[in-house]
Amino acid sequence: MKDQLNQTIRQKLQEQEKIGQDEIHIKTQQKINANEADFRQAETFQPGDILQVRKKEFSKRIKLTREKIEEVRVLDTNCEKNEIKLQVITNTSKYEIYAYASELAKYVKQIERQQEKNFAVGDKIITLQNDKKTNVKNGEIFVVKEIWGDEMVLVAENTRKEVKINLKQYNWIDHAYCVTNFKAQGMTVRNVLYFCDQSNMNYNAFYVAVTRGKENCKIYTTNAIQMLYNAQFEQEKKSISSLQQRKENTSVLSRSEIAEMYIHNLFEKFEKGKISLEELKRKFWNSIKYIDSFSKQKEFRKKLREVLEQQEEKLQKQEQIQVQQQKQTQQQEKQQEQVKIKMIKKQAKNFILER
């Protein structure tokens, strides 16, 4: 999703000539956003991926005693068997081994992958790894000032710091029109558009996202009730005490209570003209199913019917007014025609008398 949004925004900026048309094609290095559950699936991996593993534990698993692991690279994957072919490079040798993804997941910390991307002068980019030689830090936002072969001159968006990077030596860069919640920590911008995956939502992530904007923050999600419910809880710690504490937290609103508040807010927005009737109906029916109380559901349905009836009356009145206006216009046109005919007849009569 992030890459798709970056590409869409970048394309629009190019159409507006805010980004240079002359592009360079770069193989960038990226860290893949995945967790242990993803690592258990062979389809998560691609040939060429470099795996950051727990070297001590992994060495024991593949029975390396004295050799030190330098690199673990994916050579091939078999999704049907959920199997991965790996190349393990040590300080003295190279090995090819096969491992089931479900077993390998215990040792994988991170996946690094090369992705081909285009860059041009004017592009907004983000650095993805610290590098003392080039004087850049992980998560810094830059604008591309100049491109000379394999070298790129960057200007920091906030501090105006200017750095030069050699793309053969440092290729940990990505477009920064859309960034992950994790990368957004510490940033401050004027306006925020936040695409929220409610299934992974928690209080920590929600707080980071909505506090990045100085003036405005718009949230886009497929399930507002579930998002607001999940946003009440801090990031879960996998311990019995934390789960017990979550269950005992009496200040937490239920999905039903959130749905009631949300529907009230929908009616208020509609009355103020902030949302259309179609949007009200769509969000109403998506939300009311979360309300536990049948009487409350009945009350809200009754209110929606009243709103629909009022809107129908307004439409009927508007139609009547339009019909009356059309009749008045037709009458005025007839009167004007009659006046013109009388004038013509009078002029003709005067002409005959003069003859």
Residue 36 within a domain: yes
Other C-beta atoms closer than 10 Å to the C-beta of 28 total 18
Report the SS3 class of residue 102: helix
Residue 273 zone, left/alpha/beta (φ > 0; ψ -120 to 50; rest): left
Please give the pLDDT value at position 245: 52
Q: At 197, phi and psi to the nearest 5?
A: -90, 100
Please give the pLDDT value at position 240: 44
Q: Per-block average pLDDT, block size 10, for the chain (355 residues)?
A: 87 91 89 86 93 92 89 94 94 92 92 91 92 89 92 88 91 91 82 83 86 88 87 66 51 87 92 92 92 92 93 88 87 87 81 69
Please give the pLDDT value at position 77: 94
Residue 269 within a domain: no
Please give the pLDDT value at position 236: 60
Residue 186 within a domain: no
Q: What is the DSSP letter of 3?
A: H
List the strands of the sheet with 173-175, edge to edge: 162-166, 151-156, 141-148, 124-127, 173-175
Give me the number of domains the chain comprises.
1
**Beta-sheet strands, E only, within the chain:** 24-32, 50-53, 69-78, 83-90, 94-100, 108-119, 124-127, 141-148, 151-156, 162-166, 173-175, 189-196, 213-221
Please give the pLDDT value at position 278: 92
Range of the domain at 164: 22-175
Please give the pLDDT value at position 249: 54
Q: Say if strands 69-78 and 83-90 run parallel, antiparallel, or are unpaired.
A: antiparallel
- Residue 126 contacts residue 140 (beta carbons within 8 Å): yes
Residue 191 within a domain: no
Return the closest-CA partner of residue 84 out of 38, 45, 31, 35: 45
Residue 277 within a domain: no
Residue 301 within a domain: no
Residue 119 within a domain: yes
- Residue 287 contacts residue 225 (beta carbons within 8 Å): yes
Residue 292 within a domain: no
Distance, in Å, from the CA atom of 190 to the CA atom of 354, rounded to the nearest integer, reads 81
User: What would the two tokens of residue 9 be?
Assistant: 């925004």
Return the closest-CA partner of residue 90 out of 109, 77, 112, 72: 72
